Copies of this chain bind each other. A is one copy, B any other.
């Protein structure tokens, strides 16, 4: 987890463009770290007070750095999605399409895990920048799937939309009721899933491919 990533940096940037004071910078970092932790632990409805308290600062400091709780969530989500896009771009450079895709899948789940509930909490009110990012991500997903299919590594009946759906599913499965899902758990699940993706003679997928 890189707390110096861009959307959050932009959020905390001094409008005057000067170097922020040492304590300000420290508190900003603490706030982001606390927010990510709180979100991972108690979900995206972690309150501003909760986050501020975890960061060891007053609520006033929270709102000095951040225009709103939602803005902080969005910035964190944006950063995570940026990381994922970067991972997708690297995967597309892999000479082995299947190796690229499967490696990306693992990165996706690892990166997305902690910020899992944010997108639900934002409820679709994403903002232009996030929309652009999502559009770019969709492009990468389509390319990754198509390329692997052309190489014969992925079942031809798979729609590219199935991939983000399955990966997102895995991501949100962390807290399975009655089971505590650990790191190994999702890695095992991912393997099953990947094996399902490359089945050589699959039964045709049901329903219409998503538009």
Q: Once bound together, how far apart are the Cα atoms of A169 and B182, in whole Å?
A: 13
| Stretch of A26-34, A85-93, A159-167 on the interface side | A159-167
> Distance (Å) between the CB of A137 and the closest chain B CB?
7
| Stretch of A4-12, A17-25, A65-73, A173-181 on the interface side | A173-181
> Distance (Å) between the CB of A64 and the closest chain B CB?
11
Chain B contacts for A162, CB-based, 8 A? 185, 188-189, 192
For residue A35, CB closer than 8 A to chain B, the reply is no
Chain B contacts for A192, CB-based, 8 A? 155, 158, 162, 166, 193, 196-197, 205
- Render A87-125 as a binary contact track against B, CB cut-off 8 A, 1 for contact: 000000000000000000000000000000101100110
Copies in the complex: 4
Tally of contact residues, A, Cβ under 8 A: 55
Cβ contact of A172, chosen from B135, B169, B191, cutoff 8 A: B169
Chain B contacts for A188, CB-based, 8 A? 159, 162, 165, 205-207, 209-210
Instruction: Point out which of A164, A172, A187, A194 has the most chain B C-beta atoms below 10 A from its C-beta.
Output: A172
Those 3 A-B pairs whose CB atoms lie nearest each other, nearest first: A169-B173, A196-B196, A184-B207
